Amino acid sequence: MNWISTLVPWQWGVLGLVPIGIVLLYFLKLRREPVEVPSTYLWSRTIEDLHVNSLLQRLRRSLLLFLQLLAVAIAAIALLRPGVRGETSGQDRTVFLLDSSASMRATDVDGGDDGGKDAGQSRFDVAKKLIAQEIDQMSDNQSAMLITFSDRPNTVQSFTSDRRRLRDALDRTEVTNFPTDILGALKAADGLANPRRTSEVGNMNDVQVAGAMPADLKIYSDGGFQPVTEFNLGNLIPTYVSIGSKDAKNLAITAFSAERNLENPGEVQAFATVANLGSQPVEATATLMMDGQFMDASSVSLDPSDQTGLSFAIESDEAVQLSLRLDVEDDLQTDNVAFAGLTPLRNVNVLVVTPGNTPLELGLQTSKSSKICKSEFVSPDYLQTDRYTLRAESGTDDLIIYDRCSPKQMPATNTFFIGSLPTAKQDAAADEKWSWASENSGVVLIDIDRTHPMMRYLELFSLLIFQGRAINGPVGSTELIGADVGPMLVLAPRDGFQDMVLGFPIITTDDDGTSGTNTNWYAERSWPVFMLNVLRYLAGAAEASGAPSYQPGQTVRVRLENAISDAVMVRNTGSDNAASEKLTPGPTGIVDIVGADSPGNYQIKTGDRLADLFAVNLFDPTESTLAVAPDIELGYEAVTATAGSVESRNEYWRILLVAMLGVLATEWWVYSRRVG
């Protein structure tokens, strides 16, 4: 027989006052009124009542008092929850390790005696129920602690024998989207059963800091973690309670990314890997969404352990948020959706040095070019200023266009020369210099390198060019456009930069200063396309890349511009509600984000401007593989899984409550007969 108290000490004190109060009620003197009676029979009843008012006489003959005190005693015994449980080999101390990783969200758990599955019940919910039953069965001389673990341990409740505190701590636990690492939780439990020593064993000055206190180590998990070999159990007695089934159904997205097509930056390419990590064949539809709008879909049919790749192509120059969702009801929904993002084409600064070129201005001010380009037009006199010298040496601009002029020294950035040649270094060899290969003459274009991104979507054979000269480029040059007189557009590398030269001017100036056109290119559809290609590939506007992806719980470091004093992080998980959080960058513009715990697209905004973005995805095949491990390895010791059940305990408090009700009924019957 063992007892489990349901009241705290002060509540027992209140209960102890109840029988004292009952006895005190019998000490009260009756207030009597004079009564005239017509019969000596009634006088005898009154005399008998006077005898009863005597203290000893009343207590000696009060059956009601005895029944009332008996009812209180039975209630007190019932509150002690007497019961009988079989012999156990458990210790007086128990460490509960509760797995709170992403795989514990799986809903493949048994629903009870009917063999089905509980609707909405996850592995984590079942594990909590089992631990709660263990806590309820604890006796007063037993204590326990609760530790949850995912990729990090969390001691939710230290050792206590207070079952209420343990239950409250258990209620506070929540499942996460994090991967699994049990080592930290084992080390937290290790401190009790295996106390450390002050020095190495064998040292005469060695002192053990505390006595060993063996404890039961109960691990509630699906076993989805790597074997722990660098840990010694010592005095910990492990029990692995497996949660879940071996026959799970799960289709998972294990990779998802997006990038811009290098040859066509306006095209977004998305790639995904889908794997069947369950034990059943699965068919599903993968749906691609962009900013909440349907874009494309693809069917998926996989046998167990198979995987396949998916690819999608969409058109967008803007920053986009992509999500890929598997339309399937399986046992783990977290890995059925993945997120990716793309920054917009990078804004570039372009300096244009020209005596005047209206077609060039129009080409840089089209709707698409103006979104990615901030241009500044200056005259050739600007090349003689100190401001230009500092600007060229620091590489402030992403591209400098020299129209019919050349600098004394080449800048530390990419360049585009129109009707002029780059300046060579004084000690440069002949094959490292630019030169004209012909005199001014009429030009007929005969060849275009259509494989080069600079020439994409261009049709130039209808152009009229009145005057032009062929170009000799340095070693490593690439001819992009060929004419009857020789190369007409040439691209060459220079110390990590690129220089491009066009052999004919767009605008010419007579000796009297009158401007005229040298070609009809500016009136063709290919002109704004060509300028957009120049911005994308020569100025670097196409360097925009896909947003980085992190796993839930990882610290995300974002570097913002120094001018940004505050920002807002917006999380979009594909639903209508987007959560936001205010961010405050440090002096260096760096923000460490530690609250990215849920899968989704995260945007960093300052005002209405997008400063940065990243994605958070599970992407963990270990977590998505739902088959429960039959055993786990802890310190080279294999611990076999046991069924998730709690030893039954025969309790007698219900019988005692029925007995108490019987005593109260008897007391009421006796009282009714006396009064009647």
| pLDDT single digits (tens) 216-242 | 899 999 998 888 887 888 888 899 999
Residues of the chain whose pLDDT is less than 70?
1-8, 26-62, 81, 83-91, 110-120, 192-212, 262-263, 265, 344-345, 542-545, 561-564, 574-578, 587-588, 643-652, 674-676
Q: Are 103 and 122 a contacting pair, CB within 8 Å?
A: no
Q: Where in the chain is the domain with CATH 2.60.40.10?
A: 251-337+619-624
Q: Token digits for 99?
A: 């797995």
Q: State the CATH architecture for 348-543.
A: 3-Layer(aba) Sandwich (3.40)
pTM: 0.63
Exposure letters 605-620 (e unless 16+ CB within 10 A, then b): bbeeebbbbbbbbbbb
The CB density around residue 289, as the number of other CB atoms within 10 Å, is 18
Name the nearest CA neighbour of 578 among 600, 559, 595, 560.
600
358 SS3 class: helix
Residues in the chain: 676
The topology (CATH level 3) of 251-337+619-624 is Immunoglobulin-like (2.60.40)
Residue 189 CA to residue 147 CA, distance in Å, equals 8
CA end-to-end span of the chain = 44
State whether the Cα torsion 642-621-124-226 is positive or negative: positive
Residue 115 pLDDT: 41
Residue 560 pLDDT: 72
Which residues lie below 8 Å from residue 455, measured CB to CB, with a gap of 6+? 448, 449, 480, 481, 533
CA distances 417 to 404, 506, 534, Å, are: 7, 11, 12
Residue 547 CA to residue 556 CA, distance in Å, equals 12
Q: Are 544 and 348 a contacting pair, CB within 8 Å?
A: no
Superfamily of domain 93-195+211-246+629-648, CATH level 4: von Willebrand factor, type A domain (3.40.50.410)
Q: Token digits for 181?
A: 């690492």
Q: What is the dihedral of CA 616, 109, 303, 258, to 10 degrees?
A: -10
Residue 399: strand pairing partners = 350, 414
CATH number (3.40.50, 2.60.40, 2.40.10, 1.10.287) of 549-616 reads: 2.60.40
| Amino acid (one-letter) located at 38 | P
112 SS3 class: coil
Task: Please provide residue 477's backbone torsions phi and psi, each rounded to the nearest 5 degrees.
Answer: -70, 155
Residue 591 CA to residue 608 CA, distance in Å, equals 19
Contacts of 381-390 with C-beta under 8 Å, sequence gap 24+, read 382/353, 383/353, 383/407, 383/408
Q: Are 480 and 455 a contacting pair, CB within 8 Å?
A: yes
Residue 354 CA to residue 492 CA, distance in Å, equals 22
Residue 408 CA to residue 546 CA, distance in Å, equals 39
Exposure letters 419-444 (e unless 16+ CB within 10 A, then b): bbbbbbeeeeeeeebbeeebeeeebe
Residue 79 pLDDT: 75
Token pair 């429960």 is found at 628
The alpha carbon of 100 is separated from its chain's Cα centroid by a whole number of angstroms, namely 14
Residue 614 CA to residue 600 CA, distance in Å, equals 9
73 SS3 class: helix
